[in-house]
Each structure stands twice: as C-alpha cells, then as structure tokens.
C-alpha cells in the first residue's frame, strides 16, 4: 500500500511548483514571504510522505527539525521587516 | 487491514484537497491579507489531515508519537507565524484591498 502516499506526494510536489510562481513574481516582500512559508509547510508534509514511500521512518525526525527551523525563519523575517533591525537595546 | 487502508487513504485525499485549495487561493486572491487567509487553512488543516492519515496507517508505535509531536508543534506555531506576518504587514502600512480596486 504505497500508491496513495505516492499520489499525494506527487500532488503536493506539483503544488510546491505552482507556489513558486508567487515566490518569484509576487509583488512586494510580503507576498514572497507568504509563498516561502507555504512552501516550507508543504516540504514538511513531503518529507513525511517520502519517509513512507521509501520505507524509512527516520525522515520524521528531519521533518520535526525542519518545522522548527521554518517557524524561526518566518518569525525572524517578519520581525525584521516590521522593525528594520533585529536587536534593539 | 483493508478498513485501515481505506480510512487512511480518505484522510490523505482530504489533506491533498486542502493543499490544492490553499494553492489556488494563493494564486487567485487579490491581496496579501486574503492570500494569508487562504494559506493559513493550507498550513494547519491540510498538514494535520495528511499526518492523521499517516498515523492511522502506522498503528500505535513510536513513529505515531513522533508524528503527533510534529502535528502538535505545527498546530502551535503555524498560526503564530501567520499572525506575526499579518501584524508586520499592517504596521508597515501595506494597503488593504477594497472591492473595486485593482489586483495587487
């Protein structure tokens, strides 16, 4: 029973490809940031599905790490664009 | 064994449906804020439905606990990231789309 994981993985990979249009063309900074955020979320799901497809469940640990890193990146970019600096005394 | 396969496939298909919906919203909506509204659904709901499908397929093992950790973590931090982005855009003064305006 590997076929549903494969089909859903291919669907999510093609939606990542479609989202990159907004990341490249999108007017302004914020549209690009939201496209990158969505691509990060879909990459987490794609990592979990890839772990099932090639039957290596260790990929879930990588997905957990990637979730933490993507969240920290989003928060830092949002705060940087809002304030114009990262560390204020 | 067959019932578990069918139920997990249904959950995976629902997750893929919400992913496609969020992508269409990201491409077609006219404004940054409305795009953020669409992708928030794609972030939490689609991801959690796919992970629930994987958990039902897996049974009760250590991997299920790890999947639950990924899902709970993202359910906690996904809306926080969306809110931070929205507040940053609103404080910076990004214009809000009103009915009849041009797409931006």
pLDDT in tens, A48-83: 999 989 988 888 999 999 989 988 998 998 888 888
Residue B103 lies in a domain: no
In a domain, B104, yes or no: no
The pLDDT, as a whole number, for residue A89 is 62
Whole-number Å distance between alpha carbons of A80 and B37:
22
Tell me the mean pLDDT per 10 residues along chain B, length 104: 89 92 90 89 88 90 91 89 90 85 78
ipTM of the complex: 0.87
- What is the pLDDT, as a whole number, of residue A46? 92
Q: Is the pLDDT of residue A16 over 90?
A: yes
* DSSP states of A13-29: HHHHHHHHHHHHH-SSH
Surface of A (18-77) touching B: CB under 8 A: 18-19, 21-22, 27-28, 30-31, 33-35, 37-38, 41-42, 44-45, 48-49, 52, 57, 60-61, 63-64, 67-68, 71, 74-75
Q: Do B57 and A52 touch (CB under 8 A)?
A: yes
Chain Cα centroid distance, residue B58: 22
CA–centroid distance for B80 within its chain:
13
What pTM value is reported for the model? 0.88
Report d(CA A33, CA A29) in Å as an integer.
Answer: 6
Torsion of CA B9, B11, B13, B16, to 10 degrees: -140
The number of folded domains in chain B is 1
> Given this model, what pLDDT does residue A85 score?
79
Query: What pLDDT is stored for residue A57 in this prediction?
Result: 80
Provide the residue ranges of all domains of chain A, joining segments of one domain with +.
3-83
Nearest Cα of chain A lies from the Cα of B100 at a distance, in angstroms, of 19
* Cβ-based burial of A25 (10 A; exposed 0-12, middle 13-18, buried ≥19): exposed
Residue ranges with strand state E in B43-89: none
Structural domain boundaries enclosing B24:
2-92
Pick from A19, A45, A67: CB nearest B26: A19
Q: Residue A27's pLDDT is what?
A: 84
Handedness of CA A15, A18, A24, A27 (dihedral sign): negative
Question: Do the chains contact at A4 and B9, CB–CB below 8 Å?
Answer: yes
Length of chain A: 89
* Average of per-residue pLDDT across A15-24: 91
Residue with tokens 């795009």: B35
- Is B24 inside any structural domain? yes
């Amino acid at each position: 029973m590997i076929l549903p994981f494969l089909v859903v993985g291919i669907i999510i990979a093609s939606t990542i490809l479609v989202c990159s249009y907004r990341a490249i063309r999108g007017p302004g900074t914020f549209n690009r940031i939201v496209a990158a955020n969505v691509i990060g979320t879909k990459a987490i799901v794609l990592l979990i599905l890839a772990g099932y497809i090639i039957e290596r469940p260790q990929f879930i640990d990588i997905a957990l790490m990637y979730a933490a890193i993507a969240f920290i990146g989003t928060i830092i970019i949002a705060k940087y664009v809002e304030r114009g600096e990262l560390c204020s005394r | 064994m067959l019932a578990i396969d069918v139920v997990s496939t249904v959950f995976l298909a629902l997750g893929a449906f919400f992913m496609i919906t969020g992508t269409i919203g990201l491409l077609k909506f006219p404004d940054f804020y409305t795009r953020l509204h669409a992708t928030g659904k794609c972030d939490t709901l689609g991801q959690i439905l796919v992970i629930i499908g994987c958990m039902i397929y897996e049974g009760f093992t250590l991997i299920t606990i790890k999947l639950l950790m990924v899902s709970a973590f993202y359910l906690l931090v996904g809306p926080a990231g969306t809110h931070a982005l929205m507040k940053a855009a609103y404080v910076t003064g990004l214009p809000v789309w009103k009915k009849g305006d041009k797409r931006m």
